[in-house]
Amino acid sequence: MKLIPTASMFNAIMAGYFREKNASRAMHVLKQMEDAKVKPDALTFACLINNSPSERHITKFHNDMLDSEIQPTKQVFMALVNAYAACGEVDKAKQV
């Protein structure tokens, strides 16, 4: 079909794996995205942050997003709030 892969395509696949609770496959999709030289967008990072298993992962993905000079969106801020709250970091969620 000769489709050029986009961040949206990878985001949809990654979100599906996260919905199935298959984080390892979702992270493999992120690696495939990198290999295809497709830059992640704000929705990619929102998905990763929202499905982070720990505060360390939340911080890593948030910093990666900032290092990539991607402007946070409403979805990113909501993902940060939800992820921090899920990790029991209610004070950090309130700070967002």
pLDDT tens-digit series, residues 50-63: 999 999 999 999 99
Residue 1 has pLDDT above 80, yes or no: no
**What average pLDDT score do residues 4-19 get?**
96
CB 89 within 8 A of CB 59: no
Domain boundaries, the chain: 7-95
**pLDDT tier at 21 (50, 70, 90 boundaries)?**
very high
pLDDT at 90: 92
Q: Please work out, in degrees rounded to the nearest 5, the angle formed at the alpha carbon of residue 61 by the alpha carbons of 57 and 64.
A: 140
Task: Look at residue 93 in the predicted model and tell me its pLDDT.
Answer: 93
